[in-house]
Amino acid sequence: MKTKVVVTGMGAISPIGNTVEEFSASLKAGKSGVGPITLFDASEFDVRIAAEVKNFDPSRWIDKKDARKMARFTQFAVAAAAQALEQACLVEPAPADGSAEGAKPRLKTTPERTGIVLGNGIGGWEVVEESFRKMIASGPRRMLPLTVPLMINNEAAGNISMIYGTKGPAFTQVTACASGTDALGQALDLIRAGRCDVVIAGGTEAAIVPFAIGGFQMLKALSTKRNNEPEKASRPFDADRDGFVMGEGAGILILESEEHAKKRGAKILAEFAGYGATADAYHITAPDPSGEGGARAIKAALEDAGLRPEEVQYYNAHGTSTEINDPTETKMIKLAFGDHAYKLKVSSTKSMTGHCIAGGGGLEAIACILAITEGYYPPTINLENPDPECDLDYVPNKVQYGTIDAAASGSLGFGGHNGVVVFKRYGK
């Protein structure tokens, strides 16, 4: 008998809102978070747009001294974790004046039984760039003293552990764009294995920096045709798509065993019912065009959740808005769901948030849980000229409402990594 795992808290930092409430409202409104790049001068780049996190003030959630020792991706993760822990009632509430300065969070669970699993694909590249420039210009003694601890992928998990005093496992999952989804799956397994009662899990990324934008531009992976109308650039499943839009942000869930959550009287948001992961063994960037690898991940997640395909109402697609991904993912869904694929609501919230790399897995899991708890299907915006190869119901352009008992989210990473998570209405 598998240990039942539930979700008791969520936190979001995203291009369309810096709380779960703001994120949900923007999903319902079909709001685009894409705009001109402001984090650096992109005038010499072919790509001059991105989905940036806006109006982010880390001092709302993080002590100012601590924040100065964190890269942007870590700040996002810590802020989202603070929101999630507060919703789950596992820490004392934030100060009433809205400032986290000097706050000392007190964890309300056993530290040794509390773990962290975060996904991150790229790390603190803005730190790498700044420190490298200083080294080239003035020598190694001018490098940032904290270059290494700021840049490395595991520091988001490490900082959350230090702030809240968690003493269980603290892992970082790196499977490119599937990192956040795979982190959730690894957290599920930790609880089921009896190693943890509570796990802080999700993904974070902040890769809107010259080196990353330049690198993805060289791969011809980013949208370049709509620098003058950025809100239209991310258009999954549309025939006029020309690449993904880089996004950033973090999505964090608090996962608990059902027994632990019920014992402390927690409000349970949803059941985390299943996880599946596979590898394509095909190409360093492209998915297997047959869709076989992704379909196996979906089937594995459904089997793990004990669900038949027809029992799932919503699928949050990876949906990157690239030439290859969208028709391939459509094949995956058809292979996995069979005839039910044409009755399934499928959408890509990346049409609004851009591609947040590891942060996407966490944010898209939150979108699935919101779909269940608030009864709506997030739209795929900018779907104006459907690709004939993409012939499913992608909830075009406007939110739709309905009863959703089960929802799944899939992520596909460079290198052929496929991860899928399944959530169910609690008690269903």
Point out the domain boundary residue: 232, 263, 294: 263
- Looking at the fold, whether 249 and 277 belong to one and the same domain comes out as no
Respond yes or no: is residue 260 known to be catalytic. Answer: no
Respond yes or no: is residue 355 known to be catalytic. Answer: yes
Band of pLDDT at residue 428, cut at 50, 70 and 90: confident
DSSP code, position 146: T
28-51: pLDDT as tens digits: 999 999 999 999 999 999 999 999
Distance CA 118, CA 106 (A): 21
Q: What is the dihedral of CA 73, 319, 312, 426, to 10 degrees?
A: 20
Q: Using CB atoms within 10 A of its CB, is residue 158 exposed (0-12), middle (13-18) or buried (19+)?
A: middle
- Cβ distance 51 to 356 under 8 Å? yes
What is the model's pLDDT at position 1? 81
102 lies in some domain: yes
333 lies in some domain: yes
- Looking at the fold, whether 51 and 198 belong to one and the same domain comes out as yes
Q: Tell me the mean pLDDT in the region 315-322.
A: 98
* Catalytic pick among 177, 356, 368, 390: 177
Evaluate if residue 95 carries a pLDDT over 80.
no
Distance CA 324, CA 321 (A): 9
27 lies in some domain: yes
Using alpha carbons, list the distances in angstroms from residue 312 to 302, 377, 428: 9, 13, 12
CATH number (domain holding residue 96): 3.40.47.10
Point out the domain boundary residue: 242, 263, 284: 263
**Residue numbers of the domain that contains 116:** 5-263
Q: Could you give the number of structural domains in the chain?
A: 2
- Looking at the fold, whether 130 and 78 belong to one and the same domain comes out as yes
Point out the domain boundary residue: 215, 245, 263: 263
- Looking at the fold, whether 14 and 135 belong to one and the same domain comes out as yes
pTM of the model: 0.96
156-204: pLDDT as tens digits: 999 999 999 999 999 999 999 999 999 999 999 999 999 999 999 999 9
174 lies in some domain: yes
Evaluate if residue 227 carries a pLDDT over 90.
yes
- Looking at the fold, whether 258 and 293 belong to one and the same domain comes out as no
Band of pLDDT at residue 54, cut at 50, 70 and 90: very high
Band of pLDDT at residue 102, cut at 50, 70 and 90: low
- Looking at the fold, whether 136 and 233 belong to one and the same domain comes out as yes
Respond yes or no: is residue 340 known to be catalytic. Answer: no
- Looking at the fold, whether 302 and 408 belong to one and the same domain comes out as yes
| Percentage of residues in the chain having pLDDT higher than 90 | 91
What is the model's pLDDT at position 128? 85
* Catalytic pick among 260, 355, 356, 368: 355
* Catalytic pick among 196, 260, 318, 368: 318
241-296: pLDDT as tens digits: 999 999 999 999 999 999 999 999 999 999 999 999 999 999 999 999 999 999 99
What is the model's pLDDT at position 401? 98
- Looking at the fold, whether 10 and 144 belong to one and the same domain comes out as yes
- Looking at the fold, whether 356 and 209 belong to one and the same domain comes out as no
- Looking at the fold, whether 243 and 111 belong to one and the same domain comes out as yes
375 lies in some domain: yes
- Looking at the fold, whether 254 and 287 belong to one and the same domain comes out as no
268 lies in some domain: no
280 lies in some domain: yes
What is the model's pLDDT at position 360? 98
- Looking at the fold, whether 185 and 286 belong to one and the same domain comes out as no
356 lies in some domain: yes
